[in-house]
Amino acid sequence: MLDIKLIRKEPEVVQKRLRLKDPKIDLAPLIKADKEWQAITPKLENIRAEKNRLAKEVGFKKAKNEDSSKEIERMSALKTQEAELSKEQASLEETVKTLLSEYPNLPFSEVPFGTSAADNVEIHRFQEKKELGFLFKHHVELSDALGLFDFERGAKVSGRGFPIYNHVASKIELALWNLMLETHQKNGFHLRMMPLLVRPETMYASGQLPKFESQLFKLKDEDFHLYLIPTSEVPINSLYRDEILEEKELPLLLTSLTPCFRREAGAAGSNERGLIRTHQFYKVELFALTTPETSPNVHEKMIQSAHEILETLELHYRDMLLCSDDMSFAAAKTVDIEVWLHGQNRYYEVSSASNCSCYQARRSNIRYRKKDGALDFVHTLNASGLATSRLMVALLESNQKEDGSIHLPQKLAKRVGFEVIRADGTIT
């Protein structure tokens, strides 16, 4: 959530920066409601002061056995006015809060302006795309030949977008989870196992609600009103909601593995079939709470930890600094790490590393006490470390051989206990 004090002080500057993300953004409704809300405060103060004065007057008159009916009548009228104004103030306060929740975070100054993903800027790459030199297969074709995934039975059980991982694919997936969690813990991130169902206020705190309500799976009946998490960033962000941390505790570096649930999925028959875009997938999350001064360095630390995994897996990748239009709602700066997928003939994101500045912390009311005793909001950061579905695609498609087999990278092969997956179903 944005700082209302900053909007009051520099409305034109804030609106100009917000329009880098969305040119249609207009702060006028918020500014109007906020001014009306603020204008009620002195009116209430005057009424209460008048009531106090009259109460004293009534007391004096009663002590002298004098008539105080006019003062009592006036106090009754003031009480009615006070109640009406207090109700109006509460309504305007809720309006201001609602409007504030609908505005995205302000982009940092180093974020390039852009109107689409085409304006993102490549800032780093590891190795180059692997040239296979033969007519390669899409990962769905590899799966059909090697029995890796069962998309049809997954659809029978839960619907399209819920793939089943068969034995060999499951072993690879488990090995990837362990590799990621071990790497991140080595790099200073502490493991958390998080709930998969969360309350509406938890979704609101991370910026998912109200904007992304239609993209979420939810459970709502007479006993429960909960949401399935789209990423473990959501519950981790609320771990310290409404708390005050000490500066010496920061940065807090956390990692978690969970399934992620999202309603959006690629259209039937599109190139995004198979594992590219599903309703359920697994992801290792990196999350940090920092001081404003240390958040840029922690952002880089998260990116480097994700890099380490991709380099261990010998996968070509590139880092893209997202332009203003392509960033997420809550992000002030985002670097996407993308791998090349041969079957799609394009790069796909496997990690999105975002510095959300104090935006989520304001929604979550997470503050820290500085050494001088002053309170300030923390910065929150998140990154995929990594999303395994597209990572699996990259591993399968880039390591396939002309005979239809797949040769896993050496360090992954040691973890799963086999290196070669053959078309006849054998592994060695």
Q: What is the rounded CA–CA span in Å between residue 338 and residue 332?
A: 19
Q: Is 277 considered catalytic here?
A: yes
130's tokens:
């692997």
Instruction: Give, for 341, the enclosing helix (H) or strand (E).
Output: strand 333-341
Question: In the structure, how many helices (H) and strands (E) does the chain have?
Answer: 13, 18
Pairing of strands 252-261, 244-246: unpaired
Helix (H, G, I), strand (E, B) or coil at 103: coil
390 is catalytic: yes
* Residue in 273, 318, 367, 390 annotated catalytic: 390
Nearest Cα neighbor of 97 from 144, 160, 29 is: 29
Residues 6 or more apart in contact with residue 233 via CB below 8 angstroms: 206, 285, 287, 382
Of 408, 406, 410, the C-alpha closest to 423 is: 406
Of 206, 233, 238, 262, catalytic: 262
Give the Å distances, CA to CA, from 272 to 140, 141, 152, 166, 195.
10, 13, 16, 20, 29
Catalytic residue among 17, 273, 277, 363: 277
Q: Is 53 a catalytic residue?
A: no
Catalytic-role residue among 352, 354, 389, 405: 352
Q: Distance between CA atoms of 367 and 353, rounded to whole angstroms?
A: 22
Say if residues 273 and 266 touch (Cβ distance below 8 Å). Answer: yes
Task: Please enumerate in sequence order all residues whose Cβ is within 8 A of that of 49, keeping only pairs 6 or more positions apart, or say none.
Answer: none
293: left (phi over 0), alpha (psi -120 to 50) or beta: alpha
Residue 227 corresponds to which amino acid? Y
What single letter denotes the amino acid at residue 194?
M
Pairing of β 190-191 and β 197-198? unpaired
Q: Does residue 143 have an active-site annotation? A: no
263 is catalytic: no
C-alpha–C-alpha distance, residues 202 and 200, integer Å: 5
- Beta-bridged to residue 321, according to DSSP, are 121, 335
- Own/partner contacts of 263-268, CB < 8 Å, gap of 24 or more, are 263/214, 263/215, 263/216, 263/217, 264/215, 265/160, 265/161, 268/160
Report, as residue numbers or ranges, the catalytic residues: 262, 277, 349, 352, 390
